Amino acid sequence: MGIDSIKKKFMNIQQNLAGKIELKNNFGMKDIKLVAGVDLGYWDQDGKHFAVCCIVVVDFHSREVKEKVWSSGEITVPYIPGFLAFRELPLVMEAKAKLVSDPDIYMFDGNGYLHYTHMGIATHASFHLEKPTIGIAKSYLKIKNTEFIMPENTVGAYTDIVINNEVYGRVLRTRKDVKPVFVSCGNWIELDTAMEITMSFINGESRLPVPVRLADLETHVMREELSENGNV
């Protein structure tokens, strides 16, 4: 099976789900108690690719870490820009199954609506998690040759990424003198709310919101452990 037939298959799945996206809050901010951050780390072993997915659950109000889970395994799906979800979601769902708590919302390292077909990993994941999601990308995925406008160098400054009169996502300056992040809706949430939650989780240690940052750090720790002792 060549890469083109894989893409074709993936595209069908994306288009089916894309029609079900709803960018309206299906919750009130006051209902948000637990926020999960999701990230993956990779390494090679015996000529194979492995990864570990870490999910860190943080209490929105107290900022306490409530739970951490991880799941690792071999990765066989290649990285194809636009189809990240197909590569990473299996491990994400495996890790999610280990959660005892039930997060109200999930934040991903990557895009959501800011995607060729609005089906970035954050949006795609929402249909499996059945929870609202937010996408936080560290670099820009250019769509339809549209460049983004750099927001001014002030905390909280932002510019919208508009393509064909539609807002795909937002370039947000979470810290001064640091590259901005790219925030987009995953699903069942509005962009303003996604940005509000993102900004509320900026603590001065990173340009990334706490849940995603902690998941990122956990990913590095677990990778060292697993790549030494053999994969689990």
Partner DNA sequence: GCGACAG
Partner DNA sequence: ATCTTGTCGC
Check: CB of residue 191 under 8 Å from CB of residue 181.
no
Out of 58, 109, 172, 226, which residue is the one contacting DNA (CB under 7 A)?
109
- Of 166-205, which residues contact DNA (CB under 7 A)? none
Q: Is 111 in the site for DNA (CB under 7 A)?
A: yes
Listing from the earlier edge strand, what are the strands of the sheet with 34-45?
Answer: 65-74, 48-59, 34-45, 105-109, 133-137, 181-187, 166-172, 158-163
Quote the least distance from Cβ 100 to DNA, whole Å.
25
- Of 69-98, which residues contact DNA (CB under 7 A)? 79, 81-85
Cα distance between the two ends of the chain: 28
- How many residues bind DNA (CB under 7 A)? The answer is 28
Q: Is 211 in the site for DNA (CB under 7 A)?
A: no
Cα angle: 54, vertex 56, 58; to 5 degrees? 170
Out of 103, 135, 169, 180, which residue is the one contacting DNA (CB under 7 A)?
135
Out of 42, 65, 67, 94, which residue is the one contacting DNA (CB under 7 A)?
42
Residue 157 CB-half CA count within 13 A: 14
64/177 with CB nearer DNA: 177
DSSP 190: -
- Helix, strand, or coil here: 130? coil
109 is known to lie in a ligand binding site: yes
Out of 62, 139, 165, 229, which residue is the one contacting DNA (CB under 7 A)?
139
Contact region with DNA (CB under 7 A), list: 24-32, 56-64, 99-107, 110-118 = 110-118
Rounded-to-integer distance, Cα 162 and Cα 77, Å:
31
What sign results for the dihedral spanned by CA atoms 8, 54, 102, 204? negative
Q: Which residues bind DNA (CB under 7 A)?
A: 39-43, 79, 81-85, 109-111, 115, 120-122, 135, 137-142, 219-220, 223
